[in-house]
């Protein structure tokens, strides 16, 4: 899973000025305080120009001023009771429009999805979780889009809005009530789909095995002298995989890990019909988890052991990871904080997700060898642990466990028995983890999130629930924008505009890459010309004048699209499917950030929708 470095910031680091990696070093709050007044002044000036065209300069100014003053009065006198009354009307309207069809479609898809999802794939848990979360996202966005964009235009068209406007209800309460009502309906649908999805994932991944063969092992301790291994065997094949298992003298054991999961094995009867014990095989474990990683800062050392800003570029287009050279002093150093004796009393578990670049094949039947060790980040404490060799496992997570007691090396180079917290962790809870590649002319690739300290896992159900919060936030924003556009557009145009904003929100990076020239093919007009004339992306037009005209117009369109995309929410940032599917906990900082952004966009859309409805001639 790719972890964006900005996602590693805590909520306060992201929000307040001075946070590492925060926007323009002024924090999200600073950006908000800069953009909102500027954007508000621009919108007010544009409204003034329209008002001048209709009423003249003097009257135009007073018209805008009166509208703003009335808006302040209406917003300051919002009645929660009237808002809830409007919300109930929206809920009743949604129920009359048979929104339960969405749940029926969802259940119908789940009913037949098991036929097409391959439970024997290499990572079945990722497949099942990604499928249900992605499908739920599409259905939730479609539900919010259809509910929000057709309600107000139909009421205005059928003149049923007059029965509301004649009551003591403010326009802002109508807009907020519509948003709240449709969000309530969507939330109820998401709760049903969420429980259905969870049961579907549990049921789809559930399987068991039978014992195929077993033999008694005599005199083998298996590393535990007081509880030796006494039985070894193999299980039957299920979903194109099988396991071997070991059972200890106390009757407890487990299988090996295959495709990211394992099973508990225990003796339920000491002697069966064949004289051998009867074993019970438990359900799969290890698939549905929520790791709680502790990430650290990353720095590199070059081949001479000197500090470097980034790793080596081995020629890959994607520069997400930096590489270190094997057989040299090059290293990647992670500095972790918050490593306390209370959090890790027995051992320290590290997980690695490295990439390998081979300049020649080498020993192709095994992975490239590397070493990892711990050190004290205090400059005055030249203390490190004895390096632990490992074999890099690409595209899978490798776990390395350091016990509380371990061998350490001091300045004199003589190893002795030491303690992680007494010798290697600094007084403020910091610890360095150093990774090196041991084979010459081979390279390890890593990013900041590729090595982390694993603390106690969070409950998977809660992580699954937090994944649905991301879907819920996307639905809330789509609903708010749909209601906003429906205050001044008819139903079809409002739906198309909202849908376009959703697409633009998902593809904002694509628009930016087209505008900057990182992606070939040109803007909308140039792309259309290339499509009609069947030109490739890099081909040049023969007519230079036409080329300049097309590119000039495209630059204007792309600038407008880029500006719009920067104003709209980035829906990809709310998508936490990968966190749940890859088994990582959605930490509180990311969730708080998404909730804050979603609330701001929803309130902004409601405010804009109110002013449009306030200034609209509804009677017409």
Q: How many CB atoms lie within 10 A of CB 318?
A: 6
- Is residue 523 situated within a structural domain? no
pLDDT at 330: 95
In a domain, 426, yes or no: yes
Q: Assess whether 261 and 127 both reside in one domain.
A: no
Is residue 565 a part of any domain in this protein? no
Q: Are 190 and 133 within 8 A, CB to CB?
A: no
Let me know whether 47 and 164 are in one domain.
yes
CA dihedral sign, ordered 490, 495, 496, 498: positive
Does residue 229 belong to any structural domain of this protein?
yes
Are residues 487 and 437 located together in one domain of the fold? no
Say yes or no: 117 and 231 in one domain.
Answer: no
Low-confidence ranges of the chain (pLDDT < 70): 19-24, 219-225, 272-274, 379-381, 617-620
Distance CA 320, CA 298 (A): 13
Tell whether 397 and 375 lie within a shared domain. yes
Exposure string of 366-390, with b = 16+ CB inside 10 Å and e = fewer, is: ebbbbebbbbbbeeeeebbbebeeb
Same domain, 242 and 197: no
- 181 and 155, same domain (yes or no): yes
- The boundaries of the domain holding residue 339 are 321-446
Question: Is residue 420 a part of any domain in this protein?
Answer: yes
180-204 pLDDT tens trace: 999 999 999 999 999 999 999 999 9
174 and 253 share a domain? no
Q: pTM (2 decimals)? A: 0.90
On whether both 327 and 441 belong to a single domain, the answer is yes
Q: What is the pLDDT of residue 311?
A: 93
Residue 228 lies in a domain: yes
Question: What's the pLDDT score for residue 272?
Answer: 66
Asked, for residue 60, whether it belongs to a domain, the answer is yes
* 335 and 385 in a common domain: yes
What is the per-residue pLDDT for 222?
Answer: 46
| Cβ neighbourhood burial of 179 (10 Å; 0-12, 13-18, 19+) | buried
> 341 Cβ partners below 8 Å, 6+ apart?
421
Are 85 and 177 in contact, with CB atoms under 8 Å apart? yes
Domain total of the chain = 3
Is the distance from CB of 423 to CB of 341 less than 8 angstroms? no
Residue 250 lies in a domain: yes
Q: Are residues 155 and 9 in the same domain?
A: yes
Which pLDDT value is given to residue 22?
46
192 with 264, same domain? no
Query: Tokens 């694509």 correspond to what residue?
Result: 510
Here the CATH number for the domain that contains residue 391 is 2.60.120
Name which of 585, 593, 592, 595 is nearest 294 in CA terms. Answer: 585
- Determine the Cα–Cα distance for residues 87 and 84; give it in Å rounded to an integer: 5
Question: CB of 617 within 8 A of CB of 187?
Answer: no
For residues 220 and 438, give the distance between their C-alpha atoms in angstroms, rounded to a whole number: 33
Query: 181, 91 in Cβ contact below 8 A?
Result: yes
Q: Among all chains, which residue has been given the structure tokens 């709680």?
A: 292
Compute the distance between CA of residue 19 and CA of residue 25 in angstroms, rounded to an integer.
Answer: 7
Give the SS3 label for residue 397.
Answer: coil
């Amino acid at each position: 899973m790719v972890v964006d470095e900005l996602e590693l910031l805590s909520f306060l680091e992201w929000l307040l000025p001075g946070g590492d990696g925060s926007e323009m070093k002024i924090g999200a709050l600073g950006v908000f305080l800069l953009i909102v007044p500027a954007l508000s002044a621009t919108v007010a000036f544009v409204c003034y120009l329209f008002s001048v065209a209709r009423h003249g300069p003097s009257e135009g100014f007073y018209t805008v001023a009166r509208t703003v003053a009335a808006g302040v009065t209406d917003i300051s006198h919002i009645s929660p009771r009237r808002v809830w009354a409007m919300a109930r009307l929206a809920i009743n309207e949604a129920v009359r429009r048979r929104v339960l069809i969405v749940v029926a479609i969802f259940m119908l898809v789940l009913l037949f999805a098991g036929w097409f999802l391959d439970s024997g794939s290499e990572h079945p848990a990722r497949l099942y979780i990604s499928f249900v979360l992605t499908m739920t996202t599409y259905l939730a966005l479609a539900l919010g889009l259809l509910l929000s964009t057709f309600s107000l235009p139909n009421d205005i068209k059928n003149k049923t809005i007059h029965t509301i406007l004649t009551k003591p209800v403010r326009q802002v309460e109508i807009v907020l009530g519509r948003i709240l009502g449709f969000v309530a309906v969507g939330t109820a649908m998401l709760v049903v789909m969420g429980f259905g999805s969870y049961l579907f994932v549990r049921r789809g991944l559930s399987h068991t095995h039978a014992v195929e063969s077993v033999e008694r092992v005599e005199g083998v301790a298996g590393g535990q002298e007081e509880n030796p291994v006494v039985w070894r065997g193999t299980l039957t094949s299920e979903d194109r995989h099988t396991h071997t298992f070991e059972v200890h003298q106390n009757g407890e054991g487990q299988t090996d890990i295959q495709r990211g999961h394992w099973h508990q094995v225990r003796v339920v009867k000491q002697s069966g019909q064949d004289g051998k014990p009867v074993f019970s095989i438990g359900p799969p474990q290890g698939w549905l988890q929520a790791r709680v990683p502790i990430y650290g800062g990353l720095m590199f050392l070059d081949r001479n052991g000197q500090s470097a800003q980034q790793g080596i570029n081995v020629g890959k287009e994607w520069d997400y990871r930096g590489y270190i050279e094997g057989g040299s002093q090059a290293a990647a150093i992670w500095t972790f904080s918050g490593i306390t004796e209370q959090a890790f009393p027995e051992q320290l578990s590290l997980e690695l997700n490295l990439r390998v670049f081979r300049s020649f094949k080498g020993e192709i039947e095994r992975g490239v060898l590397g070493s990892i060790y711990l050190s004290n980040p205090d400059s005055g404490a030249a203390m490190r642990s004895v390096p632990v060799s490992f074999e890099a496992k690409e595209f899978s997570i490798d776990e390395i466990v350091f016990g509380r007691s371990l061998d350490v090396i001091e300045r004199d180079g003589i190893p002795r028995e030491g303690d992680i917290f007494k010798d290697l962790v600094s007084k403020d809870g910091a610890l360095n983890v150093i990774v090196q590649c041991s084979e010459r002319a081979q390279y390890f690739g890593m990013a900041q999130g590729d090595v982390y300290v694993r603390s106690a896992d969070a409950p998977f159900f809660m992580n699954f629930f937090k994944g649905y919060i991301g879907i819920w936030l996307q639905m809330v924003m789509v609903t708010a924008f749909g209601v906003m556009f429906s205050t001044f557009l008819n139903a079809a145009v409002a739906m198309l505009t909202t849908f376009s904003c959703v697409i633009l929100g998902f593809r904002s990076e694509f628009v930016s890459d087209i505008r900057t020239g990182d992606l070939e093919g040109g803007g909308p007009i140039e792309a259309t010309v290339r499509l009609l004339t069947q030109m490739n992306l890099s081909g040049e037009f023969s007519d230079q004048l036409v080329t300049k005209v097309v590119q000039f117009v495209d630059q204007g369109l792309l600038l407008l699209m880029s500006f719009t995309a920067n104003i709209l929410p980035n829906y990809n940032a709310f998508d936490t499917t990968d966190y749940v599917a890859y088994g990582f906990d959605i930490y509180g900082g990311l969730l708080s950030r998404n909730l804050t952004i979603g609330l701001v966009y929803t309130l902004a859309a409601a405010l804009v929708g109110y002013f449009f409805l306030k200034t609209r001639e509804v009677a017409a």
